[in-house]
Amino acid sequence: MSDYQHHWKDGTPVHLPLGKIVCIGRNYAEHARELNNPVPDEPLLFIKPSTAAVHITRPLDFPRNQGAVHFETELAVLIGRPLTNASTSEVEAAILGFGLALDLTLRDVQSKLKDKGQPWERAKGFDGACPLSPFVAADKLPRDNIHFTLDIDGQRQQTGDSRDMLNPIVLLIAHMSSQFTLQPGDVVLTGTPKGVGPLVSGQTLSLELEDVLFVETTVV
Ligand code: ZN
């Protein structure tokens, strides 16, 4: 059972419940290419359940007998107001915070599901599949040029910048809200840049968001 609760960077709790985690596949062209996937002509959305969320600093654990588990480092957006068919200005006003997430993925399971044209939940929704960092207030960062990195055991593994997103943050969230309502406390994951790979026991992962957030975790 997840006892996850949103926090700000200074450790104070965010008094909003996590309802759902709405994600996009293939929001960076170079990541779509590295997995030999076409770039979709409309956003490829999926949802992780709230039970997938864990604090990122807790050692990462995941199913061990279903093939490779890949890390995907993603910019996470904390939603602060209800959004239904939202305009871009309504989305702007609803962005409460930014953080970092790992969209952990059972890659071999996902490949089989993709081959069969089946939904991805088995690969993306397991307990612990969404480690989340604390959040920083949205006004600390620009919208269109947010830089983040992942190092594993001291080696740079992923570098992301929101300006490389095929669907920029605000338009992406507006689109999501045209498909289903986003609630205060929901989290949006904005896709991974290239450089994904398998987690291996004992690795140390260091994630950095601009110069405002740094978190470190290990693999069980
Ligand atoms: Zn992802």
Average pLDDT over residues 114-141: 96
Q: How far is the CA of 74 from the centre of ligand 1 (A)?
A: 7
Candidates 3.90.850.10, 3.30.200.20, 3.40.640.10, 3.30.2310.20; correct CATH number of 20-218? 3.90.850.10
Q: How far is the CA of 29 from the centre of ligand 1 (A)?
A: 13
CB 8 within 8 A of CB 97: yes
> Cβ of 156: how many Cβ atoms within 10 Å?
11
Q: How far from the centroid of its chain's Cα atoms is residue 93's Cα?
A: 21
- Check: pTM over 0.95? Answer yes or no: yes
Distance CA 33, CA 29 (A): 6
Q: How far is the CA of 192 from the centre of ligand 1 (A)?
A: 5
Distance CA 18, CA 5 (A): 7
Q: How far is the CA of 40 from the centre of ligand 1 (A)?
A: 14
Average pLDDT over residues 164-176: 96
> How would you class 129 by CB atoms within 10 Å of its CB: exposed for 0-12, middle for 13-18, buried for 19 or more?
buried
Q: How far is the CA of 130 from the centre of ligand 1 (A)?
A: 10
Average pLDDT over residues 50-71: 97
Q: Which residue has the tokens 């290419």?
A: 33
**Tell me, what's the pLDDT at 143?**
77
